[in-house]
Amino acid sequence: MKRLLTVQDISCVGKCSLTVALPIVSVMGVETCPLPTALLSGHTAFSHFSFRDLTDEIPKIEDAWGKENISFDTIESGYLGSIRQIELVRELGKKFRKSASCLQIVDPAMADGGKLYTGFSQEFVAAMRELCRDADVIVPNLTEACLLTGRVYREDADPDFWKEVLADLAGLGCRDVIVTGFRKADGIGVMSLHQENGKTTCGTYLNERLPESFHGTGDIFASVLSGALTRGWPLQEAQKLAVDFTLECIRRTMEDPQRRFYGVNFEQALPMLLGRMNKAEQEKGQA
């Protein structure tokens, strides 16, 4: 079984980061090792939240894993709480990417809707840019992509603007760049750029755009994508599954009159994810 390391916080209530990555990547048949970077009562979009920093634990965990000769097929990181934590993830990558096939996936979770999340600065953005340089795959939304490439965020960005942003992000050195939130007519999805054997392919994948947006959907997208890439799926298929599953979670949330304000109903959509995975892998087996 493939093994994935996911480095991000655990927010007890809020349906984001580790509470999303653990069930999603596990249901995709990948061993999921969490490295919690902080313990929060809820994510930082709540009016009140507690925050216990776990940075000091990271080198101790790293040291123990080194002695046990642990390795990972994928190292994925999401929300990180400080520049020091970004540096530690870079160190983890250098230490635990023992084979060339080990993937590093970075979701530079730090901003949305044109704004940095509470507590982040331009210095943090600069450090995140360096982590993105180490990655094979990065998954920013358009706000994060603009921050990483030194652009002013534009709500009404046209496809040419998106293509320029993607080209600049690829210039950081990552093989694959997937920017989420690409819109066209009634659709929403991703625009991505894939580099292989000196060839660059740019593509989009869209599905239906529902009239509401919810917190935590970026984490859901990144988890599905990471699970599928770890299972060896090609980028185009992995991003399609991630877009479709995220939409399914939003649809289920909107249908529920008793929905929570802070996250989406991904739990009851998990059978769909498993069904899609099994069907695709069966078809591959038969091919």
CB of 184 to ligand PXL, least distance (A): 25
What is the Cα–Cα distance from 156 to 207, expressed in whole angstroms? 19
CB of 105 to ligand PXL, least distance (A): 15
Taking the least distance from each CB to ligand PXL, the nearer of 1 and 261 is 261
What is the Cα–Cα distance from 212 to 222, expressed in whole angstroms? 20
In DSSP notation, 95-141 reads HH--STT-EEEE---SEETTEEPTT--HHHHHHHHHHHHH-SEE--B
Taking the least distance from each CB to ligand PXL, the nearer of 218 and 277 is 218
Q: Report the residue count for the chain.
A: 287
Element (H, E) at 82: none
The candidate with the shortest Cα–Cα distance to 279, out of 230, 246, 241, is: 241
Q: Where does this chain bind ligand PXL (CB under 6 A)?
A: 9, 11, 16-17, 40, 43-45, 79, 109, 117, 216, 218-219
CB of 185 to ligand PXL, least distance (A): 27
CB of 281 to ligand PXL, least distance (A): 29
Taking the least distance from each CB to ligand PXL, the nearer of 52 and 98 is 52
The partner residues of 150 in beta bridges, in order of sequence, read none
CB of 94 to ligand PXL, least distance (A): 24
Taking the least distance from each CB to ligand PXL, the nearer of 112 and 244 is 112
Taking the least distance from each CB to ligand PXL, the nearer of 40 and 247 is 40
What is the Cα–Cα distance from 246 to 242, expressed in whole angstroms? 6
Query: Which phi and psi angles does 264 have, rounded to 5°?
Result: -105, 160
Chain centroid offset of residue 211 CA? 23
Alpha helices in 140-231, H assignment, sequence order: 142-148, 159-170, 217-230
CB of 218 to ligand PXL, least distance (A): 6
Taking the least distance from each CB to ligand PXL, the nearer of 117 and 153 is 117
